[in-house]
Amino acid sequence: MHPLAEELNSILDKTAAGRLLSSFGRRIYFPKGIIAQSGEAKKQAHRANATIGMAYKDGGPLMLKSIASFMPSFSPDEAVAYAPTAGLEEARLAWKQEMVRKNPSINGDAISLPAVIPGLTSGISYTADLFVDTDQAVLSAYPCWDNYALVIEGRRGGVLKGVPFFVPGRGLDLDAIASGCKEAAKGGQLRVLFNFPQNPSGYTPSIGEGEALVNIIGEAARGGADVLVMVDDAYFGLFYEDSLKESLFGRFAGLDERVLAVKIDGPTKEDYVWGFRMGFLTFGSRGMNVETYGALEKKLMGTIRSSVSCVNTPAQSIMLKTLADSETGKEKAACFRLMKRRYQAVRAFVDSRADHGILEALPFNSGYFMSFLCKGISAEKLRRELLAVHGIGTVALGPYLRVAFSCLEEEQIPGIFETIYKSAGEIQVRGL
Ligand SMILES: Cc1ncc(COP(=O)(O)O)c(C=O)c1O
């Protein structure tokens, strides 16, 4: 084991984070190499900084004219310079400030500074690198975003335990979630991944259900288990009904010394920048302080440095300017209203077919999607028929058919949903 890894491990050993580390998590460290030395030089090398693999002229990074012409308002530092391993300090501070503003239940003084990561997927992947080992279980909703299985099982060799989270027509199956967590916690460790608004159901818990989830996690911790709670807030903010309007991260972070909460969020969906490839990862645990957060951040920086090295600078610079722009709030509110109208059009249509015997909607009230449980017909057959005969693209996930209403114009919605219901009926009649 590298001495720097040993040093970080000894700082973390007394925390839930330290006890939850995977073998990769124990091994990884942030070297005192090029990046660390270059960081030191940035502050102190007043004569010449000959540390980093970039090219400078007249005190700034070289930039080709054509690149500059696409980013006319950016300095070379904002456009082409390497960003620090954990991201531009100003972007991290601005995101944290926004996070606390949007979620008053988060105590900004008791969490880490969000680190910039290359998209939310990498946040899940890095968290799994650090905290999930071969054969270890991670509980999540069934159905869930299909990439969770690729990360937890394909990449990490763990086991994604799908708990049927949803009761059609109602909400969360809290008994199933509680017993899944209780069972997993028996081994002394519990790893859970929550994602609300959820993909693919489109569900966000009610305030009471949120409280129940906090109690379930608290009970596991009080029972002696170390708990990792990953909070995937990809679709944060798109709440159309009377549900939770804050991330549960703040509650988990303040809950118990045995709970390590990891918030994975970012502008991908919230700010409509899917291809930017940037997100944020924040740690929160009642048992942690500046020193232990610092050690954990070094582990994360080692994970970033050893994979993508750092995240793309223009995306961070643009996000920083966007957060500071007084028009952003108004424009995002207009986007929200557009999405909400689409949700309402879907809601009205689905409610009018509540007695349909074949397609049963999972509870939905938020986000980009809704999903049908296909009863007595194959979701994949329905998907293929919708595509081949009607030119409508949807996604089949096991027995579920997911519809991304975020991609549909409001006027299209009744016609498209009529076709979905009709096709399901025809498939059943044909006995497919
Ligand atoms: C639940 C969920 N989490 C994370 C992501 C990935 O986000 P990103 O594109 O930032 O990697 C998605 C994307 O579809 C998602 O649905």
In this predicted model, what pLDDT tens digit does every residue of 298-325 receive, in sequence order?
A: 999 999 999 999 999 999 999 999 999 9
The token pair at 26 is 């124990």
Q: Which of 125, 145, 204, 270 to mutate to test the pocket of ligand 1 (most atoms within 8 A of CB)?
A: 145
Does 314 share its domain with 347?
no
Does 319 share its domain with 334?
no
Does 153 share its domain with 294?
yes
For the chain, give the percent of residues with pLDDT over 70.
100
Does 204 share its domain with 310?
yes
Instruction: Let me know if residue 73 belongs to a domain.
Output: no
Q: Whose CA is nearest to atom 2 of ligand 1?
A: 234
Does 16 share its domain with 99?
yes
The token pair at 229 is 């709670």
Does 128 share its domain with 262?
yes
Mean pLDDT (whole number) for 50-71: 92
Instruction: Let me know if residue 76 belongs to a domain.
Output: no
Q: Which of 324, 359, 381 is the last residue of a domain?
A: 324
Does 297 share its domain with 396?
no
Instruction: Let me know if residue 70 belongs to a domain.
Output: no
Output the CA 121–ligand 1 centroid distance in Å. 6
3-state secondary structure the chain: CCHHHHHHHHHHCCCHHHHHCCHHHHHCCCCCCHHHHHHHHHHHCCCCCCCCCCCEECCEECCCHHHHHHCCCCCHHHHCCCCCCCCCHHHHHHHHHHHHHHCCCCCHHHECCCEEECCHHHHHHHHHHHHCCCCCEEEEEECCCCHHHHHHHHHCCCEEEEEECECCCCCECHHHHHHHHHHHHCCCEEEEEEECCCCCCCCCCCHHHHHHHHHHHHHHHHCCCEEEEEEECCCCCCECCCCCCCCCHHHHHCCCCCEEEEEEECHHHHCCCHHHCCEEEEEECCCCCHHHHHHHHHHHHHHHHCCCCCCCHHHHHHHHHHHHCCCHHHHHHHHHHHHHHHHHHHHHHHHHCCCCCCEEECCCCECCEEEEEECCCCHHHHHHHHHHHHCCCCEEECCEEEEEHHHCCHHHHHHHHHHHHHHHHHHHHHCC
Mean pLDDT (whole number) for 2-31: 97
270 lines ligand 1 (CB under 6 A): no
Task: For residue 432, name the pLDDT band (cuts at 50, 70, 90).
Answer: low
Output the domain CATH number for residue 341. Answer: 3.90.1150.10
Does 220 share its domain with 296?
yes
pLDDT tens, position by position, 138-154: 999 999 999 999 999 99
Does 102 share its domain with 250?
yes
Does 253 share its domain with 202?
yes
User: Which residues, 6 or more positions from 217, have their beta carbon under 8 angstroms from its beta carbon?
Assistant: 181, 190, 192, 227, 229, 252, 255, 259
Q: Which of 324, 352, 382 is the last residue of a domain?
A: 324
140 lines ligand 1 (CB under 6 A): no
Does 161 share its domain with 206?
yes
238 lines ligand 1 (CB under 6 A): no
Instruction: Let me know if residue 41 belongs to a domain.
Output: no
Q: Which of 268, 270, 271, 402 to mutate to test the pocket of ligand 1 (most atoms within 8 A of CB)?
A: 268
Task: For residue 157, name the pLDDT band (cuts at 50, 70, 90).
Answer: very high
For the chain, give the percent of residues with pLDDT over 90.
92
pLDDT at 81: 96
Output the CA 368–ligand 1 centroid distance in Å. 11
Q: Which of 324, 348, 363 is the last residue of a domain?
A: 324
Does 189 share its domain with 122?
yes
User: Which residues, 6 or more positions from 340, have their beta carbon under 8 angstroms from its beta carbon?
Assistant: 240
Mean pLDDT (whole number) for 63-74: 93
Output the CA 120–ligand 1 centroid distance in Å. 6
Instruction: Let me know if residue 290 belongs to a domain.
Output: yes
Instruction: Let me know if residue 77 belongs to a domain.
Output: no
Q: Which domain holds residue 417?
A: 329-430
pLDDT at 49 over 70: yes
Output the domain CATH number for residue 319. Answer: 3.40.640.10
38 lines ligand 1 (CB under 6 A): no
- How many domains, the chain? 2
Instruction: Let me know if residue 190 belongs to a domain.
Output: yes
**Which region among 56-60, 141-145, 428-432 has the lowest average model confidence (pLDDT)?**
428-432
Instruction: Let me know if residue 47 belongs to a domain.
Output: no
